[in-house]
Amino acid sequence: MFSLLRRNRDIRLVFGAQVVSFAGDWFTFVALAGLVEDRTKSAFLVSCVLVSMTLPGLLMSPVAGSFADRFDRRKILVIISALQSVSALGLLLYGVAGIWITFASQSVIAALASFVGPATSASVPNLTDNESDLRLASALFGSTWGIMLAVGAALGGVFAAAFGRNAAFIADAVSFAVAGILFACVRTPMQSHDVSSTAQKPRPIADMKEAIHLAKKDKIILALIGSKMTFAVGAGIVSQLAVLASTAFHVGDAGRGLLIGVRGIGSGLGPILGARIAGRDMKRLLTVCGYAGLLFSICYLGAAASSFIWMAAIFIGLAHLSGGAQWTLSTIGLQMQSPDHIRGRVLAGDMALVNTMIACTSLMAGGVSQLFGVRSTIVIFAGAAAVASVLYIAATSSIRQSLRNETPHQ
Protein backbone atom coordinates (compact mmCIF):
# COMPACT_ATOMS: atom_id res chain seq x y z
CA MET A 1 0.00 0.00 0.00
CA PHE A 2 2.73 2.46 0.94
CA SER A 3 4.72 1.39 -2.12
CA LEU A 4 1.87 2.93 -4.14
CA LEU A 5 2.58 6.27 -2.47
CA ARG A 6 6.28 6.00 -3.32
CA ARG A 7 5.77 5.25 -7.02
CA ASN A 8 2.64 7.31 -7.79
CA ARG A 9 3.27 11.05 -7.36
CA ASP A 10 -0.32 12.16 -7.98
CA ILE A 11 -1.82 9.66 -5.55
CA ARG A 12 0.74 10.93 -3.03
CA LEU A 13 -0.41 14.53 -3.55
CA VAL A 14 -4.12 13.70 -3.22
CA PHE A 15 -3.33 11.59 -0.16
CA GLY A 16 -1.43 14.52 1.39
CA ALA A 17 -4.29 16.89 0.66
CA GLN A 18 -6.71 14.55 2.40
CA VAL A 19 -4.42 14.10 5.41
CA VAL A 20 -4.14 17.81 6.20
CA SER A 21 -7.79 18.57 5.40
CA PHE A 22 -9.18 15.73 7.52
CA ALA A 23 -6.92 16.65 10.43
CA GLY A 24 -8.30 20.18 10.38
CA ASP A 25 -11.88 18.88 10.16
CA TRP A 26 -11.54 16.86 13.34
CA PHE A 27 -9.73 19.62 15.22
CA THR A 28 -12.85 21.67 14.53
CA PHE A 29 -15.33 18.91 15.35
CA VAL A 30 -13.92 18.29 18.83
CA ALA A 31 -13.63 22.01 19.57
CA LEU A 32 -17.09 22.79 18.20
CA ALA A 33 -18.81 19.90 20.01
CA GLY A 34 -17.22 21.04 23.27
CA LEU A 35 -18.13 24.67 22.62
CA VAL A 36 -21.78 23.87 21.89
CA GLU A 37 -22.14 21.56 24.89
CA ASP A 38 -20.50 24.04 27.29
CA ARG A 39 -22.60 26.98 26.07
CA THR A 40 -25.99 25.27 25.62
CA LYS A 41 -25.91 22.16 27.87
CA SER A 42 -28.01 20.47 25.17
CA ALA A 43 -27.36 16.94 23.87
CA PHE A 44 -29.70 17.70 20.99
CA LEU A 45 -27.68 20.72 19.85
CA VAL A 46 -24.45 18.70 20.14
CA SER A 47 -26.00 16.19 17.72
CA CYS A 48 -26.75 19.14 15.42
CA VAL A 49 -22.98 19.66 15.05
CA LEU A 50 -22.78 16.34 13.21
CA VAL A 51 -25.93 17.21 11.27
CA SER A 52 -24.31 20.46 10.12
CA MET A 53 -21.41 18.34 8.81
CA THR A 54 -23.64 15.95 6.85
CA LEU A 55 -27.04 17.38 5.86
CA PRO A 56 -25.73 20.13 3.52
CA GLY A 57 -24.17 17.38 1.42
CA LEU A 58 -27.68 16.14 0.59
CA LEU A 59 -28.75 19.54 -0.70
CA MET A 60 -25.66 20.01 -2.87
CA SER A 61 -25.05 16.42 -4.05
CA PRO A 62 -27.01 16.67 -7.35
CA VAL A 63 -24.93 19.70 -8.33
CA ALA A 64 -21.69 18.22 -6.94
CA GLY A 65 -22.02 14.94 -8.83
CA SER A 66 -22.84 16.70 -12.07
CA PHE A 67 -19.85 19.03 -11.69
CA ALA A 68 -17.52 16.10 -10.96
CA ASP A 69 -18.43 14.52 -14.30
CA ARG A 70 -18.74 17.68 -16.43
CA PHE A 71 -15.95 19.97 -15.19
CA ASP A 72 -12.22 19.56 -14.61
CA ARG A 73 -12.01 17.71 -11.30
CA ARG A 74 -8.63 19.18 -10.35
CA LYS A 75 -9.91 22.75 -10.76
CA ILE A 76 -13.00 21.90 -8.72
CA LEU A 77 -10.84 20.63 -5.85
CA VAL A 78 -8.57 23.68 -5.88
CA ILE A 79 -11.41 26.23 -5.95
CA ILE A 80 -13.50 24.42 -3.34
CA SER A 81 -10.53 24.11 -0.97
CA ALA A 82 -9.97 27.88 -1.16
CA LEU A 83 -13.64 28.59 -0.44
CA GLN A 84 -13.60 26.18 2.52
CA SER A 85 -10.56 27.95 3.96
CA VAL A 86 -12.41 31.28 3.93
CA SER A 87 -15.58 29.71 5.35
CA ALA A 88 -13.69 28.14 8.26
CA LEU A 89 -12.73 31.62 9.48
CA GLY A 90 -16.44 32.22 10.10
CA LEU A 91 -16.21 29.82 13.05
CA LEU A 92 -14.26 32.52 14.90
CA LEU A 93 -17.24 34.87 14.99
CA TYR A 94 -19.29 33.07 17.67
CA GLY A 95 -18.20 35.60 20.30
CA VAL A 96 -19.78 38.41 18.26
CA ALA A 97 -22.63 36.74 16.36
CA GLY A 98 -23.57 33.96 18.82
CA ILE A 99 -23.29 30.17 18.71
CA TRP A 100 -25.50 29.91 15.63
CA ILE A 101 -22.81 31.38 13.38
CA THR A 102 -20.74 28.24 14.01
CA PHE A 103 -23.56 26.05 12.68
CA ALA A 104 -23.91 28.29 9.64
CA SER A 105 -20.16 28.28 8.92
CA GLN A 106 -19.87 24.53 9.37
CA SER A 107 -22.86 24.01 7.08
CA VAL A 108 -21.18 26.05 4.34
CA ILE A 109 -17.97 24.05 4.74
CA ALA A 110 -19.96 20.79 4.52
CA ALA A 111 -21.88 21.98 1.45
CA LEU A 112 -18.57 22.73 -0.27
CA ALA A 113 -17.16 19.37 0.90
CA SER A 114 -19.94 17.63 -1.06
CA PHE A 115 -17.99 18.61 -4.20
CA VAL A 116 -14.70 17.20 -2.85
CA GLY A 117 -15.89 13.64 -2.16
CA PRO A 118 -17.29 12.80 -5.64
CA ALA A 119 -14.47 14.62 -7.45
CA THR A 120 -11.77 12.82 -5.47
CA SER A 121 -13.36 9.34 -5.46
CA ALA A 122 -14.26 9.51 -9.15
CA SER A 123 -10.67 10.53 -9.96
CA VAL A 124 -8.91 7.65 -8.19
CA PRO A 125 -9.45 5.10 -11.01
CA ASN A 126 -7.90 7.60 -13.43
CA LEU A 127 -4.86 8.21 -11.22
CA THR A 128 -4.07 4.49 -10.85
CA ASP A 129 -2.69 2.12 -13.49
CA ASN A 130 -4.62 -1.08 -12.75
CA GLU A 131 -7.36 -2.64 -10.64
CA SER A 132 -4.92 -3.77 -7.96
CA ASP A 133 -3.63 -0.21 -7.49
CA LEU A 134 -7.22 1.07 -7.47
CA ARG A 135 -8.07 -1.27 -4.62
CA LEU A 136 -4.94 -0.22 -2.71
CA ALA A 137 -5.57 3.49 -3.32
CA SER A 138 -9.22 3.26 -2.25
CA ALA A 139 -8.28 1.39 0.93
CA LEU A 140 -5.57 3.97 1.59
CA PHE A 141 -7.95 6.91 1.16
CA GLY A 142 -10.59 5.17 3.25
CA SER A 143 -8.09 4.58 6.04
CA THR A 144 -6.86 8.18 5.78
CA TRP A 145 -10.24 9.49 6.90
CA GLY A 146 -10.20 7.22 9.95
CA ILE A 147 -6.55 7.70 10.83
CA MET A 148 -6.85 11.46 10.67
CA LEU A 149 -10.05 11.24 12.69
CA ALA A 150 -8.01 9.47 15.37
CA VAL A 151 -5.06 11.84 15.14
CA GLY A 152 -7.16 14.95 14.59
CA ALA A 153 -9.64 14.19 17.36
CA ALA A 154 -7.03 13.11 19.88
CA LEU A 155 -4.68 16.00 19.13
CA GLY A 156 -7.62 18.35 18.60
CA GLY A 157 -8.85 17.79 22.13
CA VAL A 158 -5.38 18.44 23.56
CA PHE A 159 -4.80 21.36 21.15
CA ALA A 160 -8.10 23.03 22.06
CA ALA A 161 -7.42 22.55 25.76
CA ALA A 162 -3.90 24.00 25.44
CA PHE A 163 -4.36 26.83 22.94
CA GLY A 164 -8.10 27.46 22.89
CA ARG A 165 -10.86 26.57 20.50
CA ASN A 166 -10.21 29.56 18.24
CA ALA A 167 -6.75 28.15 17.49
CA ALA A 168 -8.39 24.87 16.39
CA PHE A 169 -10.67 26.77 14.01
CA ILE A 170 -7.71 28.67 12.53
CA ALA A 171 -5.83 25.39 12.05
CA ASP A 172 -8.80 24.09 10.05
CA ALA A 173 -8.72 27.13 7.75
CA VAL A 174 -4.99 26.64 7.15
CA SER A 175 -5.50 22.93 6.40
CA PHE A 176 -7.94 23.72 3.58
CA ALA A 177 -5.45 26.17 2.03
CA VAL A 178 -2.66 23.58 2.10
CA ALA A 179 -4.96 20.96 0.57
CA GLY A 180 -5.79 23.30 -2.30
CA ILE A 181 -2.11 23.82 -3.07
CA LEU A 182 -1.50 20.06 -3.16
CA PHE A 183 -4.49 19.44 -5.46
CA ALA A 184 -3.15 22.14 -7.80
CA CYS A 185 0.10 20.17 -8.21
CA VAL A 186 -1.61 17.02 -9.61
CA ARG A 187 -0.48 16.46 -13.21
CA THR A 188 -2.45 13.42 -14.42
CA PRO A 189 -5.90 14.23 -15.90
CA MET A 190 -8.50 13.33 -13.28
CA GLN A 191 -11.02 12.02 -15.81
CA SER A 192 -10.62 9.85 -18.87
CA HIS A 193 -13.24 11.64 -20.99
CA ASP A 194 -12.97 15.11 -22.51
CA VAL A 195 -14.84 17.66 -20.39
CA SER A 196 -14.47 20.55 -22.84
CA SER A 197 -17.69 19.69 -24.68
CA THR A 198 -19.74 19.20 -21.52
CA ALA A 199 -18.26 21.83 -19.21
CA GLN A 200 -20.93 24.38 -20.15
CA LYS A 201 -23.86 22.01 -19.78
CA PRO A 202 -24.37 21.03 -16.12
CA ARG A 203 -27.75 19.33 -15.65
CA PRO A 204 -27.94 18.45 -11.94
CA ILE A 205 -31.44 16.96 -11.84
CA ALA A 206 -31.20 15.16 -15.20
CA ASP A 207 -27.72 13.89 -14.33
CA MET A 208 -28.85 12.45 -10.99
CA LYS A 209 -31.81 10.78 -12.72
CA GLU A 210 -29.34 9.13 -15.07
CA ALA A 211 -27.33 7.85 -12.08
CA ILE A 212 -30.51 6.56 -10.40
CA HIS A 213 -31.50 4.79 -13.62
CA LEU A 214 -28.11 3.04 -13.68
CA ALA A 215 -28.50 1.97 -10.04
CA LYS A 216 -31.95 0.54 -10.74
CA LYS A 217 -30.61 -1.50 -13.64
CA ASP A 218 -27.50 -2.74 -11.83
CA LYS A 219 -28.34 -4.81 -8.74
CA ILE A 220 -24.73 -4.78 -7.60
CA ILE A 221 -24.63 -0.97 -7.50
CA LEU A 222 -27.94 -0.98 -5.62
CA ALA A 223 -26.56 -3.48 -3.10
CA LEU A 224 -23.39 -1.45 -2.59
CA ILE A 225 -25.39 1.71 -1.90
CA GLY A 226 -27.66 -0.24 0.45
CA SER A 227 -24.62 -1.38 2.43
CA LYS A 228 -23.82 2.14 3.62
CA MET A 229 -27.47 2.66 4.52
CA THR A 230 -27.34 -0.10 7.14
CA PHE A 231 -24.38 1.70 8.70
CA ALA A 232 -26.25 5.02 8.57
CA VAL A 233 -29.20 3.59 10.53
CA GLY A 234 -26.98 3.37 13.60
CA ALA A 235 -24.50 6.12 12.77
CA GLY A 236 -26.56 8.76 14.57
CA ILE A 237 -25.13 7.52 17.86
CA VAL A 238 -21.74 8.84 16.73
CA SER A 239 -23.16 12.33 17.32
CA GLN A 240 -23.49 11.40 20.99
CA LEU A 241 -19.88 10.34 21.65
CA ALA A 242 -19.06 13.76 23.11
CA VAL A 243 -22.15 13.51 25.33
CA LEU A 244 -21.22 9.94 26.37
CA ALA A 245 -17.78 11.16 27.44
CA SER A 246 -19.08 14.07 29.51
CA THR A 247 -22.27 12.66 31.06
CA ALA A 248 -21.45 8.96 31.49
CA PHE A 249 -17.74 9.26 32.29
CA HIS A 250 -17.51 12.92 33.43
CA VAL A 251 -14.53 14.00 31.29
CA GLY A 252 -13.88 17.13 29.21
CA ASP A 253 -12.39 17.83 25.78
CA ALA A 254 -9.56 15.33 26.27
CA GLY A 255 -12.07 12.55 27.01
CA ARG A 256 -14.21 13.59 24.05
CA GLY A 257 -11.09 13.45 21.92
CA LEU A 258 -10.35 9.93 23.18
CA LEU A 259 -13.72 8.45 22.21
CA ILE A 260 -13.78 10.26 18.87
CA GLY A 261 -10.13 9.34 18.34
CA VAL A 262 -10.56 5.58 18.85
CA ARG A 263 -13.41 5.79 16.38
CA GLY A 264 -10.79 7.07 13.96
CA ILE A 265 -8.30 4.31 14.74
CA GLY A 266 -10.93 1.72 13.92
CA SER A 267 -12.04 3.60 10.81
CA GLY A 268 -8.40 3.82 9.71
CA LEU A 269 -7.56 0.15 10.12
CA GLY A 270 -10.92 -1.17 8.90
CA PRO A 271 -10.48 -0.28 5.21
CA ILE A 272 -7.03 -1.92 5.10
CA LEU A 273 -8.28 -5.09 6.76
CA GLY A 274 -11.46 -5.16 4.68
CA ALA A 275 -9.58 -4.75 1.40
CA ARG A 276 -7.29 -7.65 2.32
CA ILE A 277 -10.22 -9.92 3.16
CA ALA A 278 -12.40 -9.02 0.17
CA GLY A 279 -9.64 -8.83 -2.45
CA ARG A 280 -11.02 -8.45 -5.98
CA ASP A 281 -14.03 -10.71 -5.38
CA MET A 282 -17.32 -8.76 -5.56
CA LYS A 283 -19.25 -11.59 -3.88
CA ARG A 284 -16.85 -11.60 -0.94
CA LEU A 285 -16.97 -7.80 -0.83
CA LEU A 286 -20.76 -7.79 -0.44
CA THR A 287 -20.52 -10.51 2.21
CA VAL A 288 -17.97 -8.54 4.25
CA CYS A 289 -20.11 -5.39 3.96
CA GLY A 290 -23.12 -7.20 5.42
CA TYR A 291 -21.42 -8.85 8.38
CA ALA A 292 -19.25 -5.79 9.12
CA GLY A 293 -22.45 -3.78 9.60
CA LEU A 294 -23.73 -6.37 12.08
CA LEU A 295 -20.47 -6.32 14.04
CA PHE A 296 -20.61 -2.50 14.17
CA SER A 297 -23.96 -2.73 15.95
CA ILE A 298 -22.89 -5.42 18.42
CA CYS A 299 -19.80 -3.49 19.48
CA TYR A 300 -21.80 -0.33 20.15
CA LEU A 301 -24.08 -2.34 22.41
CA GLY A 302 -20.92 -3.27 24.32
CA ALA A 303 -19.94 0.41 24.53
CA ALA A 304 -23.35 1.26 26.00
CA ALA A 305 -22.86 -1.31 28.75
CA SER A 306 -19.29 -0.22 29.63
CA SER A 307 -18.50 0.93 33.16
CA PHE A 308 -15.21 2.64 32.31
CA ILE A 309 -14.22 5.00 29.51
CA TRP A 310 -11.31 2.78 28.42
CA MET A 311 -13.72 -0.14 28.02
CA ALA A 312 -16.12 1.96 25.95
CA ALA A 313 -13.16 3.18 23.88
CA ILE A 314 -12.20 -0.42 22.98
CA PHE A 315 -15.74 -1.27 21.87
CA ILE A 316 -16.06 1.95 19.87
CA GLY A 317 -12.72 1.28 18.15
CA LEU A 318 -13.85 -2.25 17.19
CA ALA A 319 -17.22 -0.94 16.00
CA HIS A 320 -15.55 1.45 13.59
CA LEU A 321 -13.01 -1.16 12.49
CA SER A 322 -16.08 -2.89 11.05
CA GLY A 323 -17.79 0.33 9.94
CA GLY A 324 -14.64 1.55 8.20
CA ALA A 325 -14.31 -1.71 6.28
CA GLN A 326 -17.96 -1.61 5.24
CA TRP A 327 -17.84 2.03 4.12
CA THR A 328 -14.64 1.74 2.08
CA LEU A 329 -15.47 -1.61 0.47
CA SER A 330 -18.81 -0.30 -0.76
CA THR A 331 -17.00 2.71 -2.28
CA ILE A 332 -14.41 0.45 -3.94
CA GLY A 333 -17.25 -1.62 -5.39
CA LEU A 334 -18.96 1.48 -6.79
CA GLN A 335 -15.70 2.71 -8.31
CA MET A 336 -15.20 -0.65 -10.02
CA GLN A 337 -18.81 -1.06 -11.16
CA SER A 338 -19.59 2.49 -12.40
CA PRO A 339 -18.45 3.83 -15.82
CA ASP A 340 -16.15 6.88 -15.65
CA HIS A 341 -18.56 9.27 -17.42
CA ILE A 342 -21.19 8.78 -14.70
CA ARG A 343 -19.05 7.70 -11.74
CA GLY A 344 -19.11 11.11 -10.04
CA ARG A 345 -22.90 11.17 -10.05
CA VAL A 346 -23.20 7.63 -8.71
CA LEU A 347 -20.79 8.40 -5.87
CA ALA A 348 -22.53 11.73 -5.17
CA GLY A 349 -25.91 10.00 -5.04
CA ASP A 350 -24.48 7.37 -2.71
CA MET A 351 -23.17 10.08 -0.38
CA ALA A 352 -26.44 12.03 -0.55
CA LEU A 353 -28.46 9.03 0.58
CA VAL A 354 -26.13 8.04 3.39
CA ASN A 355 -25.70 11.64 4.61
CA THR A 356 -29.47 12.07 4.66
CA MET A 357 -29.85 8.98 6.81
CA ILE A 358 -26.99 9.99 9.11
CA ALA A 359 -28.46 13.47 9.53
CA CYS A 360 -31.89 12.04 10.36
CA THR A 361 -30.59 9.46 12.83
CA SER A 362 -28.30 12.07 14.42
CA LEU A 363 -31.24 14.40 15.04
CA MET A 364 -33.30 11.51 16.37
CA ALA A 365 -30.43 10.33 18.58
CA GLY A 366 -30.04 13.83 20.02
CA GLY A 367 -33.74 14.01 20.87
CA VAL A 368 -33.85 10.51 22.38
CA SER A 369 -30.68 11.21 24.38
CA GLN A 370 -32.25 14.37 25.77
CA LEU A 371 -35.26 12.35 26.96
CA PHE A 372 -33.85 8.98 27.99
CA GLY A 373 -30.09 9.41 28.39
CA VAL A 374 -27.14 8.61 26.18
CA ARG A 375 -26.71 4.93 27.10
CA SER A 376 -30.32 4.05 26.27
CA THR A 377 -29.99 5.96 23.01
CA ILE A 378 -26.98 3.90 21.94
CA VAL A 379 -28.85 0.66 22.69
CA ILE A 380 -31.88 1.74 20.65
CA PHE A 381 -29.97 2.83 17.55
CA ALA A 382 -27.41 0.03 17.65
CA GLY A 383 -30.28 -2.45 17.90
CA ALA A 384 -31.99 -0.87 14.88
CA ALA A 385 -28.73 -1.07 12.89
CA ALA A 386 -28.37 -4.75 13.80
CA VAL A 387 -31.84 -5.47 12.42
CA ALA A 388 -31.02 -3.52 9.25
CA SER A 389 -27.81 -5.51 8.78
CA VAL A 390 -29.59 -8.85 9.13
CA LEU A 391 -32.18 -7.76 6.58
CA TYR A 392 -29.40 -6.61 4.22
CA ILE A 393 -27.58 -9.95 4.46
CA ALA A 394 -30.82 -11.77 3.63
CA ALA A 395 -31.81 -9.40 0.82
CA THR A 396 -28.45 -9.63 -0.97
CA SER A 397 -28.11 -13.43 -0.74
CA SER A 398 -29.47 -13.92 -4.28
CA ILE A 399 -26.98 -11.38 -5.70
CA ARG A 400 -24.07 -13.11 -3.96
CA GLN A 401 -25.30 -16.47 -5.24
CA SER A 402 -25.49 -15.20 -8.84
CA LEU A 403 -21.95 -13.81 -8.54
CA ARG A 404 -20.77 -17.19 -7.22
CA ASN A 405 -22.33 -18.93 -10.22
CA GLU A 406 -20.67 -16.49 -12.64
CA THR A 407 -17.18 -16.93 -11.20
CA PRO A 408 -16.17 -20.07 -13.15
CA HIS A 409 -17.00 -18.32 -16.45
CA GLN A 410 -14.94 -15.17 -15.80
Within-domain flag for 208:
yes
3-state per-residue secondary structure call for the chain: CHHHHHHCHHHHHHHHHHHHHHHHHHHHHHHHHHHHHHHHCCHHHHHHHHHHHHHHHHHHHHHHHHHHHHCCHHHHHHHHHHHHHHHHHHHHHHHHHCCHHHHHHHHHHHHHHHHHHHHHHHHHHHHCCCHHHHHHHHHHHHHHHHHHHHHHHHHHHHHHHHHCHHHHHHHHHHHHHHHHHHHHCCCCCCCCCCCCCCCCCCCHHHHHHHHHHHHHHCHHHHHHHHHHHHHHHHHHHHHHHHHHHHHHCCCCHHHHHHHHHHHHHHHHHHHHHHHHHHCCCHHHHHHHHHHHHHHHHHHHHHHHCCCCHHHHHHHHHHHHHHHHHHHHHHHHHHHHHCCHHHHHHHHHHHHHHHHHHHHHHHHHHHHHHHHHCHHHHHHHHHHHHHHHHHHHHHHCHHHHHHHHHHHHHC
Does residue 220 form part of some domain?
A: yes
pLDDT score, position 211: 65
CATH of the domain at 248: 1.20.1250.20
pLDDT score at 390:
93
**194 lies in a domain?**
no
Residue 195 lies in a domain: no
What's the whole-model pTM score? 0.68
Cα(320)–Cα(264) distance, integer angstroms: 7
Question: Is residue 198 one of the residues assigned to a domain?
Answer: no
Q: Which domain holds residue 274?
A: 2-187+203-409
pLDDT given at position 196: 53
Asked if the structure places residue 25 within a domain, the reply is yes
pLDDT at 207: 57
Q: What is the pLDDT at residue 208?
A: 58
The confidence score (pLDDT) of residue 242 equals: 77
Q: What is the pLDDT along the chain (410 residues), one digit of tens a residue?
A: 667 888 888 889 998 898 888 888 878 877 888 788 788 877 778 777 777 877 787 777 767 777 877 788 889 999 999 999 999 898 888 877 778 888 888 889 888 888 888 888 888 888 887 777 887 787 778 777 777 767 777 777 778 878 888 888 898 899 999 999 999 999 888 876 555 544 445 555 565 566 677 777 788 888 888 888 888 888 888 878 878 887 888 777 677 778 877 887 888 788 888 877 776 778 888 888 889 989 999 999 999 888 888 899 999 999 999 888 888 888 888 888 887 777 777 877 777 778 778 878 888 888 888 888 889 999 999 999 999 999 999 988 888 888 777 654 44
In this structure, is residue 196 part of a structural domain? Answer: no
Number of folded domains that form the chain = 1
Q: Is residue 61 part of a domain?
A: yes
Look at residue 253 in the predicted model and tell me its pLDDT: 65
